Amino acid sequence: MARDRSVAAAKPRNKRVDEDPQAIWQLLGFETEASLNKWRMSRLVQPYWDLYVSRFLENKAIKKGRTVSWEDVFSWIERGEANGKRRFRSVYDPQYDNAMDWNAWLLFWLVEDNRLDAHGCFWRKKIHTTEMHKLLYHFIICARGHHARTKASRSQEQSPTSDATSATTVATEERLPINTEDLDPEKGGCVILWAKGMPDALFNDLTFQSRVSLQGFCGFNKSSFREYVEYVFDLKKHRQRIVLLHARDGSSFEEAQVQAHGSQVPVRFELETATSELDVEVDVEEPPIPRGPDENAEDEIDTEAAL
């Protein structure tokens, strides 16, 4: 009897594990999506993911290539860590120029923290390390897909209705200065991530929040925003000074305010700090803080993109 091709063609394809978020959280041991999201926002995942996104996924200079298998990434980690090479041990400032290294770095640290930390999803679980790498790589692929869809949706919402309108808009923006005086000071969301320079004691403190959110971003100027960041992270107490404070997408401070004013999506800033020794002159290599013509003008922060 001939097979009905129409029936065969209509048969749905079984989802891969990394395409099914519910399967992901169940395999990782989470009972609900809420518990998974709480884990994702913790210091066991979020700081690594944020660096991965800002320095790899949103870095146009690095080719993303096709998605490789978890076996290839696991093998790359083993080779990179063999014989004391410690290729993926950098926590705060990883520097890689290819997709394989970035995937290996993220997977290495997710496994490392979640098997050794009492709050990790693999703590005291009898799971072989190869299986840990497999499960968390599925999580990474699923998270990358979600990030790509969110970014595409956001771009579609903000894009002009035609190429002609887009060209006109860009040209106009290049000719005219940005006016933020008419922005509602109570509007605009902003998320600030302490991305680089955090002292080890804070990084290992599960109660410390390395990211903060604020509403009313449009009510700040550059100086007051800098002061807010110093206050909310208590930088003086931790003997830290601001080296760089910039919008993740490369926008200027004013552009970020305009963007935040007209969107429900918060803009994202990254903070980089260095140790500030008492009674020691500021490092001469630190970029000077620009000032206005008046000697009493407010300090400004550097919001140029570092990536």
List pLDDT tens digits, range 33-75: 888 888 988 888 988 898 899 889 988 888 887 778 889 999 9
State the chain's mean pLDDT as an integer: 77
Strand arrangement, sheet containing 240-247: 211-215, 189-196, 267-275, 240-247
Nearest to 125 by CA among 86, 117, 53: 117
The angle subtended at Cα 81 by Cα 76 and Cα 84, nearest 5°, is 155
Q: Does 7 map to a domain?
A: no
Q: Total domain count for the chain? A: 2
Q: Does 173 map to a domain?
A: no
Q: Does 55 map to a domain?
A: yes
103 Cβ neighbours under 8 A, 6+ residues apart: 68, 73, 76, 137, 140
- Owning domain of residue 303: 178-307
**Do residues 132 and 189 share a domain?**
no
Q: Does 10 map to a domain?
A: no
Q: Does 171 map to a domain?
A: no
**Do residues 288 and 198 share a domain?**
yes
Q: Does 275 map to a domain?
A: yes
Answer with the one of 124, 155, 186 that is the final residue of a domain.
Answer: 155
Q: Does 169 map to a domain?
A: no
**Do residues 108 and 222 share a domain?**
no
**Do residues 147 and 188 share a domain?**
no
Q: Which two tokens stand for residue 242?
A: 């601001």
User: b/e for 198-221, b at 16 or more Cβ within 10 A?
Assistant: beeebeeeeebebbbebeebbbbb
**Do residues 147 and 196 share a domain?**
no
Of the two residues 96 and 293, the one the predictor is more confident about is: 96
DSSP 198: -
Q: Which two tokens stand for residue 98?
A: 């290819």
**Do residues 224 and 185 share a domain?**
yes
**Do residues 34 and 73 share a domain?**
yes
d(CA 33, CA 178): 41
Answer with the one of 155, 187, 221 that is the final residue of a domain.
Answer: 155
Q: Does 2 map to a domain?
A: no
Answer with the one of 140, 155, 170 that is the final residue of a domain.
Answer: 155
> Does 237 have pLDDT greater than 80?
yes
Residue keyed to tokens 């830290």 = 240
Q: Which two tokens stand for residue 268?
A: 């994202």
Nearest to 214 by CA among 236, 235, 189, 196: 189
pLDDT of residue 106: 95
**Do residues 192 and 237 share a domain?**
yes
